[in-house]
Copies of this chain bind each other. A is one copy, B any other.
Amino acid sequence: MVPSPKKHAPAIRDAEATKTRILDAAEEEFAKGGLLGARTESIAAKTGVTKSMIFYHFGDKEGLYSAVLERAVSQRVASIQKTDIHNIDPEIALKNFVETFLRDLSGNSHLPAIFFYEGIQNKGRFYSQIAITSLYTPIVDILRRGTESGKFRDVDPLHAAVNIVGMCVFYYCNIDNVKHLWPAGTNPLSEEMKEMHRRMAVEQTVASVLIR
């Protein structure tokens, strides 16, 4: 008796679910290698579908990439809008913003690397213009208010904002690099470590601009 050629069980036919699964896997892969380094093959493998599905749903690799960025940015924007950054006290506003930003990152730690890659590899060709504005503008505004009110030092708000973001995201961008600083076995993405990083980053951010 001829054994029926066992093919892959064609998974449940649910376009939206498949798209989401692909997006999640892609996010992970793009975070590792950027648009250039990501392999559609390995995204497919992670997702559990075939490569063709990626092209079916997203056209081409760049289409998938754009979709990932788009989803990420809209989440960011939504989160910012829920945050109280217009508090009269600029110190509280700054604290709120950074705190929320870091909580978002600890929930999805792939994003810093993705946007980093986007800037360096593609020079922001795809999206980061918007992402940048939505991230930096609030910080710059808060810093200006802080300086005017006399609570913050007389910093250059643009440079200060860039440096603050750097302080917040570097840890997540460099996990595999910096993890060797801690004893072997320490998980830099454990809740404890992420919370510790958040606490330190918030403290240092505020201290870095406050009048002393």
Q: CB-CB contacts of A164-186 with B at 8 A, as 1s and 0s?
A: 11111111011011101110000
For residue A77, CB closer than 8 A to chain B, the reply is no
Give the chain B neighbours of A182 by CB distance below 8 A. Answer: 158
Copies held by the complex? 2
Interface of A is mostly: helix
Tell yes or no: A207 within 8 A of B by CB. Answer: yes
Which of B119, B174, B180, B209 touches A204 (beta carbons < 8 Å)?
A: B209
Of A33, A128, A162, chain B has the most CB atoms within 10 Å of the CB of: A162
11 contacts between A and B (CB under 8 A): A116-B174, A120-B173, A153-B203, A162-B174, A162-B178, A163-B200, A164-B204, A166-B167, A166-B169, A207-B207, A207-B210
Residues in A lying within 8 Å of B, measured CB to CB = 32-34, 36-37, 113, 115-116, 118-121, 123-124, 128-129, 132, 136, 140, 153, 155-156, 158-171, 173-174, 176-178, 180-182, 196-197, 200-201, 203-205, 207-210, 212
